[in-house]
Chains A and B, each alone.
Chain A
Amino acid sequence: MSELTLYGRTLTSRFLLGTAGYPSPEVLRQAVLAGGAQVLTVGLKRSLAGAGDNGVVTAIRATLAEVGGHLLPNTAGCRTAMEAVILAQMARELYGTNWIKLEIIGDEHTLQPDPFELVNAAAQLVKDGFAVFPYCTDDLVTCRRLLDVGCEVLMPWAAPIGSGQGLLNPFALRTLRERLPGVPLIVDAGIGAPSHAAQAMELGFDGVLLNSAVAQAGDPVRMSAAFGQAIAAGRLGFEAGVMARQDMAVASTPVGGQPFLIP
């Protein structure tokens, strides 16, 4: 399997994993090690006086050091470009990285990204030196606008966040892959099962970012391992070249004359 380069950082794994909702920091650590994820997303919250995070983020940093990975802070909860830009600036200082998963929600029920605010915020953040990972829809023109303002990676959804529905619109994702060759594309959100991740990778996507599918699994550690294998298998299948579909049967066994003559 080939390596993946995101904003100049080369990764051997194509698995990006969220850190929310695990039974314990140790389960999260074991899940990361089992699946081989090298990018871990983290968030930001309004803090209460004197309250810490119970060492969870310190544990995440330690796990990342073990796997040679990278933190990806997000701007979850933002509704406007202005909010997202300020939160990104705060994230850069808190986490010590210019990587930012830009998430700006435009609809409460679907948590669908707001493409207008997203492009606006991405433009400002790129100018300010951020490596922007926009969480976006699978709309081709929105993706083009994000590239126009300087995003080098795109993260289209497969389905609404946390829904586990898998690839709802494979046509749109396939179109993105065909129309944006060479752009690192990461499916973010909506993945429920390892087969969904494999399907995205077989389409030629460069990576998969998920959280709930592992955190909410009966056994997060084994599920993370399953995703790691599915992502690697899907990528290998893509690189090997999946055969073309045929409408009708095409015999696989070579037939050199009939062995029996049936009158």
Chain B
Amino acid sequence: MTEFITINGEPHPWRADLSVDALLAELAHAPEAVATAVNAAFVPRARRAATLLRPGDALTLIQPITGG
């Protein structure tokens, strides 16, 4: 049975040893173009490679935008 994580609320297939770093590369996000959080905890850029995702994890990706 396929297990899932969510990326900004959308389901995404999980696999063993999937790091935040590797997932960003698969999604074609430049490393400096997004900020990341897992289960509502900030994951700094330097810790992405060592942060392995587990089934059910909620990954949040944030990018710059205009604002007031």
Q: Report which A residues bind B (CB closer than 8 A).
A: 18-22, 28, 41-53, 56-57, 60, 73-74, 76, 82-83, 86-87, 89-91, 93-95, 161-162, 211-212
Given A47-B29, A49-B27, A82 and B68 contact (CB-CB distance below 8 Å): no
Tell me how many residues of B have a C-beta within 8 Å of chain A: 25
Q: When the two chains form their complex, are residues A42 and B66 in contact, meaning their CB atoms are under 8 A apart? A: yes
Min CB distance, B43 to chain A, in Å? 9
Min CB distance, B50 to chain A, in Å? 16
Report the Cα distance A52→B63, complex, angstroms: 8
Q: Is B1 an interface residue (CB 8 A)?
A: no
Q: When the two chains form their complex, are residues B66 and A57 in contact, meaning their CB atoms are under 8 A apart? A: yes
- Give the top 4 A-B pairs by smallest Cβ distance, nearest first: A43-B67, A18-B68, A90-B35, A211-B68
User: B63 touches which one: A28, A45, A82, A89 (CB < 8 A)?
Assistant: A45
User: B45 touches which one: A53, A93, A211 (CB < 8 A)?
Assistant: A93
Given A49-B7, A93-B45, A56 and B66 contact (CB-CB distance below 8 Å): yes
Report the Cα distance A76→B64, complex, angstroms: 12
User: A95 touches which one: B7, B61, B64 (CB < 8 A)?
Assistant: B64
- Closest residue of chain A to B46, judged by CB? A93
Q: Report which B residues bind A (CB closer than 8 A).
A: 7-8, 27-29, 32-37, 40-42, 44-45, 60-68
- Closest residue of chain A to B30, judged by CB? A52
Min CB distance, A173 to chain B, in Å? 20
Report the Cα distance A21→B34, complex, angstroms: 22
18 A-B Cβ contacts within 8 A? A42-B66, A44-B62, A44-B64, A45-B63, A46-B61, A47-B33, A47-B34, A49-B28, A49-B29, A50-B27, A50-B29, A57-B66, A76-B68, A83-B40, A86-B40, A93-B35, A94-B62, A94-B63
Q: When the two chains form their complex, are residues B63 and A53 in contact, meaning their CB atoms are under 8 A apart? A: yes
- Closest residue of chain B to A101, judged by CB? B67
Q: When the two chains form their complex, are residues B65 and A53 in contact, meaning their CB atoms are under 8 A apart? A: yes
Given A52-B33, A90-B37, A93-B35, A47 and B61 contact (CB-CB distance below 8 Å): yes
- Closest residue of chain A to B67, judged by CB? A43
